[in-house]
Structure 1
């Protein structure tokens, strides 16, 4: 188990901001590339066979002595990238714990009857090219490479110019033969804190989506243009933010405008255009649709009063996910034989949700986060809880590979 702490120390400085303490590990940039190199080294040190698909997803395979037939392989892992100025644990905890779980299984003398893989899915956060869980979506085929390769980052760099991708409609074969996926992740809330438990089980994922709001107005002089003569898109945007907040509070949902771009972005000019991104989440598909429709309706009404125009584009929408019940119960039983393991819903999206939606039975383990903060430098987990997570993951995997 000491390997977990050693691996965690190795990763701690990679991509960390000296000023905020947060992490900048965007896909195919220096910090994330360093983590990918670390992944390859960790696989080589353990004698695991490395496989990479055309989109940059990685799997390190532990094959049994007598090679399996390729069916019902077991996969675990998570992702290595982060949001902008994010926390250390979201993603890498699952990858490090997966390698540590293999170490622990070997210490126990477990001889797998089927292959066990450690996955690192790329661009899970969507922090560079704007599509959450893009790597896993490409791996299962629910995202098209023809569309994905045209995505650009904030500097205008095309995804297709960064990664090779699949030529002539070829697909990823990385998940061929995989029969189950178990992802360990730091909890992104305080459910386990409230239950006084170190590790819990994921029950399902709320539906969620990202929506781009383009508000067009008329650029003008900030000093000479009377307030009543303006067509100011910033006013429409500001009132939409307030509407989104109110709608979510009234329904127990989540809505966040966390990114905005303004043109021409001058202090002494009325802007001509505002582009903003809404992240919306609710407990059911119907509740999400109602939330988004309500926000858009209020935004349109405000635009009419402001003399601006509004276009709303759904960039990605993920339906509600219920994890495979048999696998979930198996994980819960391994975690607490008496049946007392906490089962938690999550409002955050994960690669496990993408794989489950694509028909691959998936489950999640959550490790307690005492602050409850995530996607920020304050995200944390105690070493003892992380080690408990490794033990739990190893117990689950042992049952699946035998």
Structure 2
């Protein structure tokens, strides 16, 4: 079978190495149609930037539910913005921050952005540094660890718990609940080509309850208790009494959705970044000693990993009206898949796009955190927390390697990626740690 005919959403060979598939698709043009799916794929950097910056013509309503579900309406206008809003309640998870459009999105984003200000991160720094110190010392003392489960996932969960002011007594419960959640864009739950409508109509009672729903009960208690009291000097109280830019107060369910979204989205992407970055730290010759000798290079290292192996593979948009993208005419209601992983390796934008190059010019122009109105609000936190954990790993080790029993040699790595078409992350990564003398 020709590579381009393989189904991105169900073919595990594409899951394990999406980059070959993206390059085959790029050869058809920076904007092309996906075989066997009524979807348009964008692999070009310039085209992706143009689309991501254009919230007026593109809706985020399908960004969580994905492009495989049929729309709950038949596009019947030159501009379907009204139809999208009329049927938003019929689009799964379209009330989450990342799926909102226009004013509702701007209002919700303002509440979240207040949590990630420089002053807030500075206030959080002592906790994050102490947490990283304790966790890294523990695994170095035992000679190694399974990085994703023992460090990456719990570390970022505890960090975002502290940012939101979750009581310490509940933080282990949050970690346990997060670990139950399936990866976003789980390939094992994707419908085969041509079966999308049948899959959408399947009985819902056969599905497991999303663990994030359990966290909602915690946040209902936290927020309702704080809102019933005069404002106090703590994060939860500030969040409970927060207001939109127009001065109106969000209802409690909206604050709950925002809080659980932070855990489900921000936690997952940062944990995957830690795993992806560790793989490059170990396998790029000379890199870890270079960073161990000069910690000021760690931010540039992380930016290149974000470009080369960012946590988000694709994002989705819905065309509001007819327009032209690249050389393709797009009709209202067209679903577009923007391949962030491909755009970040576009040879028209990046020299030697598949190579790791520390200090690459213009590296922060990558699209790992998106662009435009939906740029990741948690990007400052992700950069900050992952930098700190790598500083501690390099400070407390003389050498880091991957277990050859588990992962083979550097020339023939055996890596287990999570079965998801939305995210790029390792299911496990076994590292061996030699302590400093």
What TM-score comes out, normalization by structure 2 length?
A: 0.28
More strand by share: 1
More helix by share: 2
What TM-score comes out, normalization by structure 1 length?
A: 0.29
